[in-house]
């Protein structure tokens, strides 16, 4: 054996050397990650300390730190959020579908906050608030210049507590004493029997016990009306608790069927969810309606039923929100709703459409066309026509419905209510009073073109030619309303019906005009 052979490592020696090197590398990487976190936390603490010592003015450190937390989480994804202890109501609303409040929807308009909608049987409705009322003061807070969140935070509070609300209605100030209560929003927004023993359930959201509420409505329609087919409407349903969606799937498919799986960073984030009970309606034909606002648990319900060949999906490609959030307690009574994994359907496809991790690497945020649920029957949502869009945007439907309600003590039931010729004429007179101006999309583009031509100091003859087009693009909105009468009746009528019959009437009225529902009826009838 030569000296060289003694100095040269054998294959076995190489292996023995590689193993500790790998372990060292792994340890260094782990240490680097931990060190990086510790380093940045030290920097953050030092910055705050220097601000405290040296900054010229007194700072609100609670607000400053909370803002920095929120900005940090915003950089992660839109669904990972910090919930401070003072927002326990928001946490209850998120998980249970209820909160302490007065039961109203509010809107921001013209630098003020107004009542937009009332929940039937809730404190706001019972004490006489009306859509269109302007908030002047809430619990002593001047509402001028405040946004909807600030006003909403004042309206919400401990059930049983009373607040004073000052409103403006028709230039008169009204003072209301309103006692807050638990506001529980029903998961089933509307349920009815359609033609040929077809049941219909509009499902709002997946909150605690929503699956049981769904079952009670469905069972009631089966027992009392003999329905043998079902349309589940998930349009606009943003999701919620995954277990509720799995439970609903379990009403229609065999026990121990895989519904969805989750995959994440930690072992406890990886899980396969299966149905836990025998099906109650194993053979009932199903159609599920979805749109681009159907997300999360809605996509699990629709996607699982599609993968299992148990339902026909009708509508638009869904939102593509396939990220799983869990709520973790943190210091001082707060909570962190944090994304822990992604959803995968039985076929293996991932629901998530946007890769936020790629954004963190500096890549442009984009939607994966494979994300979401592609319906079996794809329907394109018809865009609002120009006249109806303008009327909706300028709150004309909303304002006229408020006036109509004051002038008409009662109307026909929602399923029968019909706007008359005189109603539409009165609506047009109302638009005259409001000095409603209707500009077509073409007219708006022409105006922009003329401004651009002026800035570029183009030939005056060309400018005159462009100006000459204006009268030809002026549209008589009365004629436009008549041409699009059906669409105007749908939007205006639904707003009026809502004043008398609230959400239940709103849905009952709209279903008469619902083209997507008509297609869903055709599909379920053929199953």
CA torsion through residues 303, 307, 308, 312, sign: positive
Catalytic residue list contains 296:
yes
Q: How far apart are CA 197 and CA 349, in angstroms?
A: 34
Residue from 307, 341, 355, 494 carrying the catalytic annotation: 307
User: Which residues fall within 8 angstroms of residue 174, CB to CB, at 6 or more apart?
Assistant: 133, 166, 167, 168
- Give the span between the Cα atoms of 344 and 340, in whole angstroms: 13
Q: Which candidate in 321, 355, 386, 498 is catalytic?
A: 321
CA distance readout (Å), 482 to 429, 475, 504, 508: 14, 12, 28, 24
Note if 321 is an active site residue. Answer: yes
Assess whether 307 carries a catalytic annotation: yes
Q: Which of 296, 298, 341, 494 is catalytic?
A: 296
Query: Cα separation of 85 and 248, whole Å?
Result: 32
SS3 label, residue 286: strand
Angle CA 279–282–286, to nearest 5? 120
Task: Quote the CA–CA distance of 118 and 125 in Å, as a whole number.
Answer: 6
Q: By the 8 A CB rule, do 313 and 373 touch?
A: yes
Token output for 436? 């409603």
In angstroms, the Cα distances linking 114 to 133, 144, 404 are 6, 11, 18
Residue 237 DSSP one-character state: -
Residue carrying structure tokens 């937390």: 69
- Which DSSP symbol is given to 463? H
Provide the Cα torsion 121, 125, 127, 133; round to 10°. Answer: 170
Q: Which structure tokens are listed for 34?
A: 């931990």
Whether 103 and 118 have beta carbons less than 8 Å apart is answered as: yes
Backbone angles phi, psi at 261, to 5 degrees: -130, 155
The set of catalytic residues is 296, 307, 321
């Amino acid at each position: 054996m030569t000296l060289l052979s003694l100095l040269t490592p054998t294959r076995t020696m190489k292996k023995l050397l590689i193993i500790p090197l790998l372990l060292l590398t792994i340890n260094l990487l782990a240490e680097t990650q931990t060190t990086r976190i510790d380093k940045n936390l030290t920097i953050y603490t030092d910055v705050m300390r220097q601000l405290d010592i040296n900054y010229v003015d007194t700072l609100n450190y609670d607000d400053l730190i909370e803002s920095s937390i929120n900005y940090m989480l915003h950089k992660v994804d839109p669904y990972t959020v910090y919930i401070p202890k003072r927002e326990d109501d928001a946490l209850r609303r998120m998980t249970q579908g209820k909160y302490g409040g007065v039961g109203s929807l509010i809107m921001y308009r013209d630098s003020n906050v107004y009542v937009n909608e009332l929940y039937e049987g809730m404190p706001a409705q019972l004490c006489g608030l009306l859509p269109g009322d302007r908030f002047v003061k809430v619990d002593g807070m001047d509402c001028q210049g405040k946004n909807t969140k600030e006003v909403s935070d004042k309206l919400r509070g401990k059930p049983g507590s009373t607040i004073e609300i000052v409103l403006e209605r028709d230039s008169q100030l009204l003072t209301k004493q309103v006692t807050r209560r638990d506001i529980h929003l029903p998961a089933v927004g509307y349920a009815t029997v359609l033609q040929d023993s077809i049941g219909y359930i509009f499902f709002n959201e997946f909150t605690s016990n929503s699956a049981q509420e769904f079952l009670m409505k469905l069972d009631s329609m089966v027992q009392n009306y003999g329905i043998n087919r079902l349309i589940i409407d998930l349009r606009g349903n943003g999701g919620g608790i995954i277990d509720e969606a799995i439970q609903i799937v379990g009403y229609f498919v065999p026990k121990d069927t895989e519904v969805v799986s989750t995959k994440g960073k930690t072992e406890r984030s990886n899980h396969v969810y299966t149905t836990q009970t025998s099906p109650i309606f194993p053979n009932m034909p199903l159609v599920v309606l979805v749109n681009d606002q159907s997300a999360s648990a809605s996509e699990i319900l629709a996607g699982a039923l599609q993968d299992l060949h148990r339902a026909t999906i009708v509508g638009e490609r869904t939102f593509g929100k396939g990220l799983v959030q869990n709520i973790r307690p943190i210091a001082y009574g707060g909570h962190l709703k944090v994304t822990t994994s992604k959803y995968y359907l039985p076929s293996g496809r991932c629901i998530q459409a946007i890769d936020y991790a790629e954004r963190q690497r500096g890549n442009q945020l984009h939607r994966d066309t494979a994300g979401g649920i592609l319906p079996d029957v794809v329907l394109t949502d018809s865009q609002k026509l120009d006249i109806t869009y303008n009327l909706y945007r300028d709150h004309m439907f909303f304002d006229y419905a408020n006036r109509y309600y004051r002038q008409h003590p009662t109307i026909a039931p929602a399923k029968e209510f019909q706007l008359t010729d005189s109603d539409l004429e009165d609506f047009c007179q109302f638009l005259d009073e409001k000095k409603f101006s209707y500009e077509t999309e073409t007219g708006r583009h022409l105006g922009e073109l003329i401004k651009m031509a002026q800035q570029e100091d183009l030939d005056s003859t060309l400018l005159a030619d462009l100006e000459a087009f204006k009268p030809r693009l002026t549209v008589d909105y009365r004629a436009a309303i008549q041409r699009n009468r059906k669409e105007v009746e749908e939007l205006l009528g639904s707003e009026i019906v809502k004043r008398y019959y609230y959400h239940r009437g709103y849905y009952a009225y709209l279903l008469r005009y619902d083209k997507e529902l008509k297609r869903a009826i055709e599909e379920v009838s053929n199953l």
